[in-house]
């Protein structure tokens, strides 16, 4: 059995176990014949309709679909590894049948649960999710990885520029959520009156300003990196300092425009203090850029030695990993209001059972909460790949272990932070994020290796 089959097969088994674990909460199983008969009588046979005639909850149906999307993709990956020729009809059929069988088994087991209700809607939406997962896998393999669209491998959009664009998009979304933008004159007047012009009388706590500074520090570093890659900067004497000053000026304009936008958002208030926090963070990010060797950034100049380039890339990843850890720590410990240790017992018992806290939430909210925990740790898992000459296997497990330890540390500290609740499921999400970050790094490192491979090597390897 190849490593790919083994790895994807293990992931498939673990995800199936996760589905059983999550869908059977709170594990109030019973063998009472009367309760089982009542559950059979209350089965929701009519799809998309509740017993009272109302429509099924759309968020619940969407979450049921999303829950089985990874299952369909994993079934497709395992099938692809076992066959020399790709048969998408077979893969889609196996994903459809496998998702339907697993969902049917789950819905049958829920007949023995006191608080769960068996529903045909769940069966249909889960099956649809598995099919969508297989279709997305097919689209990814057939479209994104075809030679016609390998723009990333050809370097048409370099990695720093692509990362900067993604970072700006995330910053813009975070500055406009919950998207309650209004152009009503009365609303704009209220927003203008609420502007906090005096930074010294602003009641915003310093801890919130720290979050703004950390966000803008990352933007400042990436902007300096992208600017210095331009020939007009890195070939000029004093180009690094000029790139830094240009980046700081650009961020000053950006933060001012973002605060002006807050006037049009009903749930936000514009404040000059946020501009100052952003400028402080941008200076912090610029200092990080100045600590780096120019060889890691002057990609358009004379290429440095391979060893020096690898060493500088490793240093870049380590510095950014430290910064991202500070960002994670701030998000976990905000608002930095600590309580006495004797209050620990309030949440330890419920925190030890993974995903137990999700049972009180809607399916969609629980699913997005877990996915959010994974997404938070994917960048850290990626950045942790910059250490030494470790083999792929050790890199993978070190990223998972470090993310698990950091997640456990932050969740443990949250026991004494007011307004925070420790949850062991967040630790599991951290480990999953570390693994996903390693997968992203593996893909990215392979693309870099292919791009730097001398021409003619691919033909020789294919004829070998």
Sequence-separated (6 or more) residues with CB below 8 Å from residue 67: 19, 22, 126, 129, 363, 367
The pLDDT value recorded for residue 345 is: 55
% of the chain residues with pLDDT over 90: 11
Query: Is the pLDDT confidence value at 426 over 90?
Result: no
Residue 30 domain-assigned (yes or no): yes
Query: Is the pLDDT confidence value at 127 over 90?
Result: yes
Q: Please name every residue paired with 417 in a beta bridge, in sequence order, or none if there are none.
A: 338
The pLDDT value recorded for residue 126 is: 94
* SS3 state at 118: coil
DSSP 280-325: HHHHHHHHHHHHS-GGGT-TTSS---HHHHHHHHHHHHHHHHHHHH
The pLDDT value recorded for residue 335 is: 74
Query: Are 226 and 300 contacting, i.e. CB atoms less than 8 angstroms apart?
Result: no
Query: Is the pLDDT confidence value at 15 over 70?
Result: yes
Domain boundary (265, 287, 304) is at 304
- Record the tokens describing residue 65, joined without a space: 């679909």
CA 167 to chain centroid, in Å, comes to: 13
The pLDDT value recorded for residue 53 is: 75
Span 147-170, average pLDDT: 59
Query: Are 304 and 335 contacting, i.e. CB atoms less than 8 angstroms apart?
Result: no
Q: Which of 106-110, 269-273, 414-418 has the highest mean pLDDT?
A: 106-110
Q: Tell me: do 217 and 139 sit in the same domain.
A: no
What is the spatial distance between Cα 290 and Cα 308, in angstroms, rounded to a whole number? Answer: 17
Q: Tell me: do 11 and 58 sit in the same domain.
A: yes
Residue 351 domain-assigned (yes or no): yes
Query: Is the pLDDT confidence value at 96 over 60?
Result: yes
Q: Tell me: do 245 and 369 sit in the same domain.
A: no
Q: Tell me: do 12 and 111 sit in the same domain.
A: yes
The pLDDT value recorded for residue 154 is: 43
Q: Tell me: do 54 and 138 sit in the same domain.
A: yes
Query: Is the pLDDT confidence value at 64 over 80?
Result: yes
Would you give the DSSP letter of residue 454? Answer: P
If pLDDT is split at 50, 70 and 90, which confidence band does 152 have?
A: very low
* SS3 state at 422: coil
Would you give the DSSP letter of residue 45? Answer: -
Count the Cβ atoms, other than its own, within 10 Å of residue 218. Answer: 24
Q: Tell me: do 167 and 297 sit in the same domain.
A: yes
Count of residues making up the chain: 464
Span 198-212, average pLDDT: 75
Query: Are 149 and 143 contacting, i.e. CB atoms less than 8 angstroms apart?
Result: yes
Query: Are 129 and 99 contacting, i.e. CB atoms less than 8 angstroms apart?
Result: yes
The pLDDT value recorded for residue 414 is: 82
Query: Are 297 and 226 contacting, i.e. CB atoms less than 8 angstroms apart?
Result: no
Lowest mean pLDDT among 95-109, 263-277, 338-352: 338-352
Q: How many domains does the chain have?
A: 3
For the stretch 20-39, pLDDT in tens is 887 887 778 888 888 888 88
For the stretch 132-150, pLDDT in tens is 999 988 887 775 554 443 4
Query: Is the pLDDT confidence value at 207 over 90?
Result: no
Q: Tell me: do 9 and 27 sit in the same domain.
A: yes
Query: Are 166 and 232 contacting, i.e. CB atoms less than 8 angstroms apart?
Result: no
Q: Please name every residue paired with 352 in a beta bridge, in sequence order, or none if there are none.
A: none
Residue 313 domain-assigned (yes or no): no
DSSP 171-194: HHHHHHTT--B---HHHHHHHHHT
Residue 319 domain-assigned (yes or no): no
For the stretch 347-404, pLDDT in tens is 565 566 676 666 655 555 666 677 778 878 888 888 887 654 555 567 778 888 999 9
Query: Are 79 and 146 contacting, i.e. CB atoms less than 8 angstroms apart?
Result: no
Query: Is the pLDDT confidence value at 193 over 60?
Result: yes
User: Does 279 or 419 have the greater pLDDT score?
Assistant: 279
Query: Is the pLDDT confidence value at 114 over 50?
Result: yes
Give me the domain span that covers residue 385: 329-464
The pLDDT value recorded for residue 138 is: 84
What is the spatial distance between Cα 253 and Cα 331, in angstroms, rounded to a whole number? Answer: 26
Q: Please name every residue paired with 113 in a beta bridge, in sequence order, or none if there are none.
A: 29
CA-nearest of 269, 277, 258 to 209 is: 277
Count the Cβ atoms, other than its own, within 10 Å of residue 259. Answer: 21
Alpha helices in 386-423 (DSSP H): 392-413
DSSP 54-109: PBPPHHHHHHHHHHHHHHHHHHHHHHHHH-SS--HHHHHHHHHHHHHHHHHHHHHH
User: Does 160 or 271 have the greater pLDDT score?
Assistant: 271
What is the spatial distance between Cα 136 and Cα 130, in angstroms, rounded to a whole number? Answer: 10
Domain boundary (121, 149, 177) is at 149
The enclosing H or E element of 353 equals none
Residue 323 domain-assigned (yes or no): no
Q: C-alpha dihedral over 240, 246, 250, 255, to 10 degrees?
A: 70
Q: What are the phi and psi torsion angles at 56 (to 5°)?
A: -60, 155
Residue 105 domain-assigned (yes or no): yes
Q: Tell me: do 346 and 453 sit in the same domain.
A: yes
The pLDDT value recorded for residue 463 is: 47
What is the spatial distance between Cα 343 and Cα 200, in angstroms, rounded to a whole number? Answer: 35
Q: Please name every residue paired with 55 in a beta bridge, in sequence order, or none if there are none.
A: 49
- Average predicted confidence (pLDDT) for the chain: 76
Domain boundary (100, 123, 149) is at 149
User: Does 52 or 312 have the greater pLDDT score?
Assistant: 52
Query: Is the pLDDT confidence value at 95 over 90?
Result: yes
- Record the tokens describing residue 407, joined without a space: 């997640």
Q: Tell me: do 272 and 192 sit in the same domain.
A: yes
Query: Are 337 and 418 contacting, i.e. CB atoms less than 8 angstroms apart?
Result: yes
Lowest mean pLDDT among 5-14, 73-82, 327-336, 364-373: 364-373
Q: Tell me: do 211 and 94 sit in the same domain.
A: no
Span 242-265, average pLDDT: 89
Q: Tell me: do 205 and 300 sit in the same domain.
A: yes
- With tokens 């292919």, the residue in question is 450
Residue 425 domain-assigned (yes or no): yes
CA-nearest of 160, 236, 171 to 245 is: 236
The pLDDT value recorded for residue 148 is: 40
Q: Please count the CA atoms within 13 angstroms of the CA of 457 that sit on its side-chain side.
A: 7
Residue 314 domain-assigned (yes or no): no
Compute CA distances 407 → 41, 54, 198, 274, 448, whole Å: 44, 41, 38, 29, 30
The pLDDT value recorded for residue 56 is: 79
Query: Is the pLDDT confidence value at 201 over 70?
Result: yes
Q: Tell me: do 289 and 263 sit in the same domain.
A: yes
The pLDDT value recorded for residue 234 is: 72
Lowest mean pLDDT among 248-257, 338-347, 388-397, 440-449: 338-347
What is the spatial distance between Cα 241 and Cα 188, in angstroms, rounded to a whole number? Answer: 40
Span 243-267, average pLDDT: 88
């Amino acid at each position: 059995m190849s490593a790919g089959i083994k790895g994807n097969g293990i992931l498939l088994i673990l995800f199936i176990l996760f589905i059983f674990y999550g869908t059977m909460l709170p594990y109030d199983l019973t063998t009472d014949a009367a309760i089982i008969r009542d559950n059979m009588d209350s089965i929701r046979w009519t799809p998309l309709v509740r017993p009272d005639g109302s429509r099924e909850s759309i968020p619940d149906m969407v979450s049921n679909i999303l829950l089985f999307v990874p299952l369909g993709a994993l079934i497709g990956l395992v099938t692809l590894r076992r066959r020399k020729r790709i048969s998408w009809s077979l893969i889609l059929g196996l994903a459809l049948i496998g998702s339907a069988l697993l969902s049917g088994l789950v819905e049958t087991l829920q007949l023995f649960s006191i608080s769960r209700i068996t529903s045909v809607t769940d069966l249909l939406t889960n099956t649809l999710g598995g099919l969508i997962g297989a279709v997305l896998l097919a689209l990814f393999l057939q479209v994104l990885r075809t030679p016609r669209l390998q723009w990333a491998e050809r370097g048409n959009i370099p990695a720093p520029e692509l990362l900067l664009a993604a970072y700006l998009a995330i910053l813009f979304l975070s500055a406009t959520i919950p998207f309650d933008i209004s152009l009503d004159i009365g609303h704009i007047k209220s927003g203008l009156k609420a502007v906090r012009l005096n930074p010294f009388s602003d009641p915003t706590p310093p801890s919130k300003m720290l979050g703004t500074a950390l966000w803008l520090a990352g933007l400042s570093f990436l902007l300096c990196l992208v600017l210095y890659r331009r020939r007009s900067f890195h070939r000029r004497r004093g180009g690094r300092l000029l790139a830094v000053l240009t980046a700081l000026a650009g961020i000053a304009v950006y933060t001012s425009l973002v605060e002006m936008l807050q006037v049009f958002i009903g749930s936000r208030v514009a404040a000059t203090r946020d501009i100052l926090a952003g400028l402080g963070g941008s200076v912090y990010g610029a200092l990080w850029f100045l600590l780096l060797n120019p060889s890691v950034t002057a990609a358009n100049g004379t290429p440095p030695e391979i060893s020096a380039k690898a060493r500088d890339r490793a240093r870049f990843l380590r510095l950014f990993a430290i910064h991202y850890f500070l960002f994670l720590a701030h998000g976990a410990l905000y608002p930095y209001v600590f309580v006495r240790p004797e209050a620990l017992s309030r949440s330890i018992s419920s925190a030890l059972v993974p995903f137990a806290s999700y049972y009180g939430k809607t399916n969609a909210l629980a699913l997005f909460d877990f996915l959010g925990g994974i997404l938070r740790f994917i960048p850290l898992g990626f950045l942790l790949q910059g250490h030494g000459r470790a083999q792929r296997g050790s890199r993978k497990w070190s990223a998972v272990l470090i993310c698990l330890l950091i997640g456990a540390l932050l969740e443990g500290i949250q026991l004494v932070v007011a307004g925070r609740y420790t949850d062991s499921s967040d630790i599991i999400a951290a480990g999953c994020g570390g693994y996903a970050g390693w997968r992203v790094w593996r893909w990215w490192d392979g693309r870099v290796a292919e791009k730097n491979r001398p021409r003619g090597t691919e033909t020789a390897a294919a004829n070998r």
